[in-house]
Amino acid sequence: MSQVAQGKGRAGFVVGFLFAPIALYLTFVIWPYVQTFGYSFTNWSGQSPTFDFVGLDNYLELAKDEVFRGALWHNLLLLVFVPVITILLALFFAFMLNAGGRSGAGGVQGVRGSGFYKIVYFFPQVLSLAILAVLFGAVYRSDEGGLLNGFLIRLGLVDRMQPIEWLNEPDLVLWCLLLVVVWHGVGFYLVLFSAAMQSVPKDIYEAALLDGAGRAQTFFRVTLPLLWDSVQTSAVYLGIAAMDMFVLVSTMTSGQFGGGPDHHSEVMATVLMRNFLYFGKSGYACAMGVVLLVLTMVLSVITLRATRRERIEF
């Protein structure tokens, strides 16, 4: 067989193997992504086959939309608090797991049963957000039957006659949702940080120990700088999750696609879905999609830039 024929056969193989995956991906992922930009400049309702080009009208309307601006603000709040709280807790527990054991002759060591803890902590990660929504809906119940109120009443911190309506308190609802996200996420990042800690060569710690570094010093001067890459990646992932929040808000809070009470838990994704599926404003919803994308991108870049440090090789 000549070289050319073999080359041709190979090209056929490459094309044959790539055809179906690319066709599917192009149809259902890339093309809709691209189309969103186009639709965002139209007044398309989604129902009628015709629509007009309206230029930047949707974006101008968005800028004036009180509900959307409130939602944006909530997303930004979550964007700061979700990553910070989750990463701090995960780092704390990962350090405890890996260095919380007694000092032995061989230096600091992990606690016993760290494998068990890792299995338990990771478990929320495999549950669907729908399950979390029902679970925490029950935990936050506004009567004594809710786990949280039940405990607080038993401890005497809350009056039995006036339990707290967690998800209906305008000032509390967003923080209640935030707790669910943190509860869900800590295990995942703990496993991640734990693995990163274990990949750090042991002799670095021994050297630090010989130089007389305490545990706190070891953590801040040795562990954290070496883990910085993973912390940074985690901040970006968590930021992206904080920009979404659709499932929890739409299922746990009051209102069409959630957001209640009185828009106090509204996030961009719920406003988008309401406009698309309930108000039939497809073009407007597309404009929100674009804003969501731009913000996600900008914030990822900022996070990566702002937390940039000199990379440490080991």
Partner 1 sequence: MTTVVKAPGESAAERNGGSGRSGERGNGGSEGLVLHVFSHGFLAVWAVLIVLPLIWLALGSFKTDVQIGGSALSWPSNWHFDAFGRAWTKGIGSYFANTLIVMVFSVPLTMLFGSMAAYVLARYPFPGNRFIYYFFVSGAMFPVFLALVPLFFMVRRLDMLNTYQGLILVYVAYSMPFTVFFMHSFFRTLPTAVHEAAVIDGASDTRIFFQVMLPMARPGLISVGIFNILGQWNQYILPSVLMQPQTGGDPERFMLTQGLIQLQYQMGYETDLPVLFAGVTIAMIPMLVVYLSFQRQIQAGLTSATLK
In this complex, which beta carbon is closest to partner 1, that of residue 171 or of residue 243? 243
Using CB under 8 A, which residues numbered 103 to 142 contact partner 1? Answer: 103-112, 114-115, 117-124, 126-131, 133-139, 141
- Answer yes or no whether residue 232 interacts with partner 1 by CB under 8 A: no
- Any residues with CB less than 8 A from the CB of 300 and at least 6 apart, and which? 236, 239, 240
- Answer yes or no whether residue 301 interacts with partner 1 by CB under 8 A: no
Least CB distance to partner 1 at residue 154 (A)? 6
- Any residues with CB less than 8 A from the CB of 104 and at least 6 apart, and which? none
Using CB under 8 A, which residues numbered 193 to 222 contact partner 1? Answer: 195-200, 202, 205, 214-215, 218
- Answer yes or no whether residue 307 interacts with partner 1 by CB under 8 A: no
Contact segment (CB under 8 A) with partner 1 among 58-66, 77-85, 265-273, 302-310 equals: 265-273
DSSP string for residues in 112-175: TTHHHHHHHHHHHHHS-HHHHHHHHHHHT-SSTTSHHHHHHHHTTSS-TTS---GGG-TTTHHH
Among 177, 181, 243, 249, binds partner 1 (CB under 8 A): 243
End-to-end CA distance of the chain: 50
- Answer yes or no whether residue 238 interacts with partner 1 by CB under 8 A: no
In this complex, which beta carbon is closest to partner 1, that of residue 76 or of residue 108? 108
Q: Which amino acid is at 131?
A: I
Residue count, binding to partner 1 (CB under 8 A): 121
Least CB distance to partner 1 at residue 10 (A)? 7
Cβ neighbours around 49 below 10 Å, total: 5
Cβ atoms of residues 142 and 254 within 8 Å: no
Least CB distance to partner 1 at residue 62 (A)? 14
Which among 273, 233, 225, 228 is positioned nearest to 249, based on CA atoms?
Answer: 273
Using CB under 8 A, which residues numbered 159 to 198 contact partner 1? Answer: 183, 186-188, 191-192, 195-198
In this complex, which beta carbon is closest to partner 1, that of residue 18 or of residue 312? 18
